[in-house]
Amino acid sequence: MNKAQDIDVLLFDVNETLLDITILRPFFQRTFDDASVLRNWFAELVLYSQSLTLSGLYEPFANLAVATLKMVATNHQIKLAENDLVAFKQLLGNLPPHPDVIPALTRLQSAGYRLATLTNSAPTASPTLLEKAGINDFFEYQFSVAEVRAFKPHPTTYQYAAKKMGVELNKVCLVACHQWDTIGAQALGCLGAFITRPNNNVLMAENVPIPNFISHDLMELADKLILSE
């Protein structure tokens, strides 16, 4: 049974869940003449981050993001200029929040939930991504997988966050628009809340855990959690 009242901590994924990566679409349209290559790049980035972790290796996410972009460009027989890479890094370092993020975080914080983030991105100097997005102050903790040198959905990433916050895993609800992320958290006993952002839909298969909460956006999730208490 999905009991919102049993949740102490809402642990948020950052990239695409809170911050909008579609700001990169004009870059891919200009560089590849096809904005949809954004999805190809992001999927490859996730694939190679997980491959490194399975292999016992680690490379900071930002470095991997640029390397993956170069690989995808080579696949498309495109040579990236240095100014292309500079523009890409600038955009990647200034992702805006989705429109539903601030209203939903405000509501969830007011309802008494402890809020934290767990991101594949490595920590950066101030101003951080969340500071630039105007949502930094909502979060009690901001965790990076760099601290355990393993990318999500490796178990150590969720275990690390729960331990640092002093809560049992079954009191944590992982909020993400990637089901591979909620699968990892649910496999450890966390609850999973899946946000169906565009290009992110539920995978239905016999042995794949269905997220405990499925919502169109974070405001809908806030409604479900608060109204079911």
pLDDT band at 19 (very low <50, low <70, confident <90, very high): very high
The token pair that represents 27 in the structure block: 């870059």
Mean residue pLDDT across the chain: 96
Per 3-state DSSP, the chain is made up of helix, strand and coil in percentages (nearest 5) of 50, 15, 40
pLDDT of residue 6: 85
CATH ID of 21-92, from 1.20.140.10, 1.20.1540.10, 1.10.150.240, 1.10.1200.10: 1.10.150.240
**pLDDT tens digits for range 30-44:** 999 999 999 999 999
pLDDT the model gives residue 1 = 44
Could you tell me if residue 31 is left (phi over 0), alpha (psi between -120 and 50 degrees) or otherwise beta?
alpha
Query: What angle is formed at CA 215 by the lines to CA 137 and CA 208, rounded to 5 degrees?
Result: 110
Q: Going by C-beta distance under 8 Å and a sequence separation of 6 or more, which residues neighbour residue 165? A: 9, 114, 116, 140, 141, 172
Distance CA 154, CA 113 (A): 25
CATH code, 4-20+95-227: 3.40.50.1000
* pLDDT above 80 for 65: yes
**Average confidence (pLDDT) over 148-169:** 98
Q: Where are the domains of the chain?
A: 4-20+95-227, 21-92
Entry pTM: 0.95
Q: Hey, CA dihedral for 60, 69, 119, 151, is it positive or negative?
A: negative
Residue 3 predicted with pLDDT over 70? no
